[in-house]
Amino acid sequence: MAGVILLLFCTLMWWPHATVSITLESLNATGSIRDGDTMVSAGGIFKLGFFSPGSSTKRYLGIWYTNSNTTVPWVANQETPLNDTSGVLHVTNHGILILVGGNGHSVWSSNASNLPLRPVGRPVVQLLDSGNLVVTDGTGDTDSGNFIWQSFDYPCDTFIAGMKIGKDFRTGLDRYLISWTSSDDPSPGMFTYRFELSGFPEVIVRDSSTIRFRSGPYNGLRLSGMLEMKENPIYTFDFVFNEQDLYLTFNPRNSSTLLRGVLSSENGSIVPFMWNDPNRGWIQNLPLYIDNCDRYALCGANGICDNNRSPVCSCLSGFSPNNPDEWNSVPGSGGCGRNIQLNCSSVGYIRVPNVKVPETKHSWYNYSMNLHECKNLCSSNCSCTGYANLDITKGGSGCLLWFTDLIDMRYISDSGQDIYIKVSASEIAQNESTRHATKAKNRTRIIATSSALSAGVLIAVLTIVLFLRRKKNLKGLLSLKSDNFSDYQSSKDLELPLFDLRDIVSATDNFSIKNKIGEGGFGCVYKGVLKDGQEIAVKRLSTSSKQGINEFTNEVKHIAKVQHRNLVRLLGCCIQADEKLLIYEYLPNRSLNFFIFDFVCVFLSGYMSPEYAIDGLYSIKSDVFSFGVLVLEILSGKRNRGFIHPDHHHNLLGHAWTLFCNGNSMELVADTIKNTCNPPEVLRSIQVGLLCVQRSLEDRPTMSNVVLMLSSEVPLHQPKQPGFFNERDLIQDASSSSDAQKHTCSNDFSITVIEAR
């Protein structure tokens, strides 16, 4: 047998080009591995050998993590397990890996496709730092990618860094994930995660032959329906689609980060994991699709899903339920049909913004056309039902056309894309008066309160509580003239619609006390109903507030940019006479304040940052301060304002910081959760909250870093003294931020290292 070098090393640490070679003699005389032998990687990260998953007694050849021997990213003989410990792995002079049982019969071979064999002078088997097991022609050169065979071409249920999911058009090789049958059985299960090539390619998750999820086409930023692919501090991804290749791959931003995504055998979702430490192990993040609207074709043909509405399904504008009775019973059932059938000579288009575009199975695409050319092409083809840009970056480019019913659409309020749906010209004329109201209704967002609060939901609360100010009585506003607007009449200046004060006065019954639903430092909040029936919440800035027009408009511009599917939606504002109003969607499920503290009317204060409360200066770091206050209130079950500790007279922020400095942060935690919580997670949350409420806005983290700190184990800075340490600090905190640098504490229970990127 020709000399063989067998490298049995696997690591997901992203160290460039590091490999470990093991000579034939270092294994045994035959160059084989027997059951009971394990090879440990040089870095001690991985082992390769035979194992039995879960409670099974069957034997498989696989690679697992040294620090987590139940975490197996790749299995060789998934479908042909061994019943005993007689298995032996051989390497042939053709560069083929062969697994044989006790009877000498082969149960698995790396030549799974029965490719033509050719002798290799000196085959080399290496398991690269990426986790890719490769066979080369003896040179040991892995940089060229010229492999005889590689395990990355045959993934199991795990997507790891550097792996490609997709198709090689030159060889016909199709790389896709397939779930395990169960945790005890790694044989191919029911779910697959795979690119499908009819029309423009999309990733499809199937349960056997049934489609469960569709990613949407790549739009220049991400796969249309996968919000998790947006730019983030943890990993980057690449999508490649050309004449030779179609694939999706990802890599961690930090070379020391271990990441993997597992195709769940229970529901077909991709569950991302990140290695934390030996005590915490793998940290599971949210699956890559989790809500109702991610269920394939939930709303039927020509329907659209909005996860923040109830019911979630509605028909697209220009369409109505095919079976109204069935639809009323189960919205989405039976799908939607056109109100007016198309006449090829008289058509128009309805723009539907911020969506995951429909299924592209029967689509047509062209990268070189612009949107105008795309529209003309759709208009000239009677079968065309809609069009959109193929690439939404840099103003948009390319053309994507649909020719059948529009399937599996959903709203994505913060970063969706536009689609133009073909309808009869008479349909547009008939519905012009109600179209805008319908669109506004379809885009309404409500916040669902739950016991397990995500960071996104917590951020939503900031939009509600941050700007509550002082109240003012108003009389005789119904007699105001419409020409009494300020210089800020243009919605373009504020990037938001402007409401007429008379409409708001009418909607709130002249700001009647019976419509007041909350009160805070900025004034009062009133429920109102507009003429079209839409319910709103109106925040009314008190004239005693120090905030002027410039500060108010600056604030509005910032809020307008913070639109998210988990955020209460800002509908517009009103700057007229002496009034400065913010108009939000109305939240029928009441505020988070009700669920934390139990009372009926909301009177909130104590969330404003020092620079905002004292100088009227608003920035994104003002939101961060409010978020920190909220975190500490949730953990303690106490309000910041009104809390004065009998021993030191500090408010909640000062009390929390004092306990932190003394290493006694758990004393802050409410008794109702102290006995059931995870102490390390609670202590970390308290430290993050204190970092958010630091007096100087320069010291506070950004919200993206806050989310990272709460969802991972990145090291944390020591927090400095909070703003508004006690009630008297409202005046004292007007001092310069340099004074805050002096107020630090030492806490041996925290780690001060570099901040995560």
Binding residue ranges for ATP? 539
Alpha carbon of 77 to those of 48, 93, 100, 425: distances in Å? 13, 21, 10, 60
Handedness of CA 545, 551, 554, 558 (dihedral sign): negative
Which residues, including other chains, have CB under 8 Å from residue 339's CB and lie 6 or more apart?
318, 319, 320, 427
Q: Residue 421: helix, strand or coil by DSSP?
A: strand
Burial class (CB in 10 A: 0-12, 13-18, 19+), 188: middle
Whole-number Å distance between alpha carbons of 415 and 216: 14
Whole-number Å distance between alpha carbons of 647 and 469: 30
Whole-number Å distance between alpha carbons of 207 and 504: 51
Query: Residues marked as binding?
Result: 539
Whole-number Å distance between alpha carbons of 213 and 517: 40
Q: Residue 110: helix, strand or coil by DSSP?
A: coil
SS (H, E, C) 24-43: HHHHCCCCCEECCCCEECCC
**DSSP string covering 545-589, please?**
SS--HHHHHHHHHHHHH---TTSPPEEEEEEETTEEEEEEE--TT
Question: In 92-219, where do the E strands start and end?
Answer: 97-100, 106-109, 124-127, 133-136, 149-150, 158-160, 165-168, 173-175, 177-182, 185-196, 202-207, 210-214
DSSP label at residue 59: B
> How many CA atoms lie less than 13 Å away from 233 in the CB half-sphere?
14
Contact 538, 504 (CB under 8 A): yes
Could you tell me which residues are beta bridge partners of residue 420? Answer: 351, 387
Whole-number Å distance between alpha carbons of 598 and 619: 31
Alpha carbon of 591 to those of 128, 408, 449: distances in Å? 52, 32, 8
Long-range contacts, stretch 235-241, CB < 8 angstroms, 24+ apart: 235/161, 235/259, 240/166, 241/201
DSSP label at residue 49: E
Whole-number Å distance between alpha carbons of 252 and 529: 49
Whole-number Å distance between alpha carbons of 716 and 719: 9
Sheet strand arrangement including 516-520 = 570-576, 579-585, 535-541, 523-529, 516-520, 602-604
Q: 704 phi and psi, to 5 degrees?
A: -65, -40
Whole-number Å distance between alpha carbons of 247 and 683: 42
CB neighbourhood size of 34 (10 A): 15
| Structure-token pair, residue 703 | 């919200």
Could you tell me which residues are beta bridge partners of residue 348? Answer: 423
| Structure-token pair, residue 317 | 């504008």
Taking each helix axis from N to C end, the angle separating 652-661 and 679-692, rounded to the nearest 10 degrees, works out to 120
SS (H, E, C) 386-408: EEECCECCCCCECEEEECCCCCC
The helix (run of H) or strand (run of E) holding residue 501 is helix 501-507
Long-range contacts, stretch 558-562, CB < 8 angstroms, 24+ apart: 558/618, 558/619, 558/620, 559/463, 559/467, 560/494, 560/495, 560/496, 561/495, 562/463, 562/620, 562/623
Residue position matching structure tokens 């009418």: 506
Alpha carbon of 12 to those of 18, 48, 219, 274, 297: distances in Å? 11, 14, 29, 11, 37
